[in-house]
Structure 1
Amino acid sequence: MPDIDLSSRAEPGTDFAVRVTPKASRNALSLDETGAIRIHVTAVPEAGKATEAARKLLARALGVAPSRLSLIRGATARDKVFRLT
């Protein structure tokens, strides 16, 4: 279960800027002091594994299917933007 509930933000067309930390000790989703979404995943940052793990964790927090989140920016960066369709 995600650490926070983002279901109130689950509006189609909404962009979610996230900061992903791969190779973490556990999967976790949290908000930092500025309200930005931080996602820690145990997956390694190769072949899109960390991005896919982050997509699944964000989708669970939003209460939507992972297929409804599209990666808009940041395929190889820690800072990513997902759009809810």
Structure 2
Amino acid sequence: MESYLKVKVHAGEKKNRLEQKGPDSYEIWVKAPAEQGRANEAVRTLLAQHLGVAENKLSLIKGATSPAKIFLKR
């Protein structure tokens, strides 16, 4: 079943942290800098671990260069 996940990202933080704000919204802090997609990959990894799915089941569909992102979970 496909679902959309809204994520607010804080890149370049001191430690990785994930906070669920609602059934389909998250706030995520990652150590990775917001350069060359590093923060996006770190967010995808953290989100996949939290949801218990493989990373390839999550696709970034909006917000590649923005702190507000939308992921599609397949």
TM exceeds 0.5?
yes
Number of aligned pairs? 72
**What is the percent sequence identity of the aligned residues?**
42
Q: Which runs of 5+ in 1 are unaligned?
A: 1-11
Q: For 1:84 and 1:24, how far apart are their aligned partners in 2?
A: 25
TM norm structure 2: 0.92
Tell me the alpha carbon deviations over residues 21-76 of structure 1, each in whole angstroms, 9 at most, x when there is no partner. Answer: 001110010034xx341000000001000000000000000000011100110000
Residue 78 of structure 1 is matched in structure 2 by 67
TM-score (norm 1): 0.80
1:25-36 mapped onto 2 (5 Å cutoff): 25-32=14-21, 35=22, 36=25
Which position in structure 2 is the counterpart of 1:41? Answer: 30
More strand by share: 2
2:19 corresponds to which letter in structure 1?
S
The 3-state SS of whatever aligns with 1:58 is helix
**Alignment partner, residue 4 of structure 1:** none
Superposed structure 1 runs of 4+ greater than 6 Å apart: none
Match runs of 1:1-80 below 5 Å: 12-32=1-21, 35=22, 36-80=25-69
| Structure 2 segments unaligned to the other structure (5+ residues) | none
